Chains A and B, each alone.
Chain A
Amino acid sequence: MSANDGPAGDALRDPSFLADLRRDLLRFAELQLRDQAAAEDAVQETLAAALSGQDRFSGQAALKTWVFAILKNKIVDTLRRRQRTATITSLVPDDDEQEDDFAVLFNPGRHWNPADRPQHWGDPEATFAQQQFWVVFEVCLTRLPENTARVFMMREFLGLETPDICLELALTTSHCHVILHRARMGLRLCLEQRWFTPENPIC
């Protein structure tokens, strides 16, 4: 790791570090905004803010964390702006919000089918340490329906509280909970099938 103690602006002038960072920021923003132009704007504003920052960082990891915190604020701003100008149709959750999308996993008594019973995933740290896991994680996030993913990422990535999200999106609390539940059901099923079940190779 190259030591780059100094203002953020200095560290961000390392071209290869900046290129990698920009790519990561863009992917993170695109995942949540699902709009390339809006994602580019958010990243651009983030880097501009970071470059003018006088905060000092010891090492690139700390700097990256700080830049991502700026990006998250930009994404929240973008979502809020979008919400104000959104037409009512874009607030309508994905197709029909049927709670029993995942009903096939359960038997008529509403207990797990033996084949669909959730597995033990082992030590999370061991999984997180694997580069390839994060590729699968992104694939699974991308496969969630758009509005489901948006609510989930507002909750889990941007750290907004559920009542704030409901308010923001003009959803009832119970509807919000249904959407978040569906997101988690979808994500865990995708990870179980694509990562934790060895006989199912990824992609």
Chain B
Amino acid sequence: MLTCQQATRLLSEAQDRKLRLKEQWPLKLHLLICSGCDHFRQQMDFLRQACRRYSVAPPNAGDAE
């Protein structure tokens, strides 16, 4: 059984590399029963989207849109 600390590490690494099958299944199982880690997973996606948005053109007062 994966701990939350291990799950967060895998969720972060999933942003950088494809997880192996033997990592994916315990993680999937863990996320089914752990809302904290499932939120963490969503937060990782959020961070990636925010960084994309920010680095394409930082959204701020200077925007003409």
Contacts and interface: CB of A to CB of B under 8 A. Distances in A.
Contact of B36 (A2, A68, A109, A117): A117
Contacts of B39: 117-121
B38 to A, nearest CB: 8
Contacts of A27: 58
* Chain B contact surface mostly: helix
A184 B4 contact: no
Nearest to A60: B64
The interface residues of chain A, by DSSP majority, are classed as helix
B43 A156 contact: no
B50 to A, nearest CB: 6
B58 A134 contact: yes
A68 B58 CA distance: 9
A87 interface: no
B27 interface: no
A33 interface: no
B15 to A, nearest CB: 7
B65 A184 contact: no
A21 B59 CA distance: 11
A181 interface: yes
B51 A117 contact: no
A48 interface: no
5 contacts: A60-B65, A72-B55, A117-B39, A118-B40, A181-B8
